[in-house]
Amino acid sequence: MSNVNDDGLTLGFRYVSMSLARFFAALLLLGTAIPGHAQTVSPASTSLTFTAAQVGIAPGSAESLTATFNLTGFSSLVTPTAAMHYGLSYKAGAVSCTGSLGSQTCSVPVSFQPTYPGGRRDALLLTNGTTRLATVLV
């Protein structure tokens, strides 16, 4: 009795079955059969430092600094949002991103509009949906 039919179908089926079995074994052992790219979000600076501002300053006169982030390795374009952790004296503007798939640069303007005297701190949070991508202290 032969393992190969005259038409060679049995041998072809066994070859495909063995290939698939090896693929799924690699998938189980390694977690992925195809190496992926690391996803990174790197702020240009870990903090923004504002100068002193007059209490009650008009929003149009408020000092504004820009936080910049480099996003690499994402398999689709990311459309992040930004918000301040407390949001009392600092306001985050709209996120603006440029670049292409896998390599984007995003910037966020942050303004300082104090409503009472004294020093304070906050944090700018860059998120994609519910995932926090980066934090910059202000």
pLDDT of residue 118: 84
Amino acid symbol at 36: G
pLDDT of residue 52: 78
pLDDT of residue 76: 84
pLDDT of residue 114: 84
Contact assessment for residue 100 and residue 78, using Cβ atoms and an 8 Å cutoff: no
Amino acid symbol at 56: G
pLDDT of residue 37: 60
pLDDT in tens, the chain (138 residues): 445 555 554 444 444 454 545 545 443 444 332 345 688 898 888 888 888 777 877 767 788 999 999 999 888 888 999 999 999 899 999 999 999 888 999 999 999 888 888 888 999 999 999 999 999 999
* Integer Cα distance of 98 and 105 in angstroms: 5
Mode of pairing for the β-strands spanning 131-137 and 123-128? antiparallel
pLDDT of residue 22: 54
What's the 3-state SS for 105-135? Answer: EEEEEEEECCCCCCCCCCEEEEEECCEEEEE
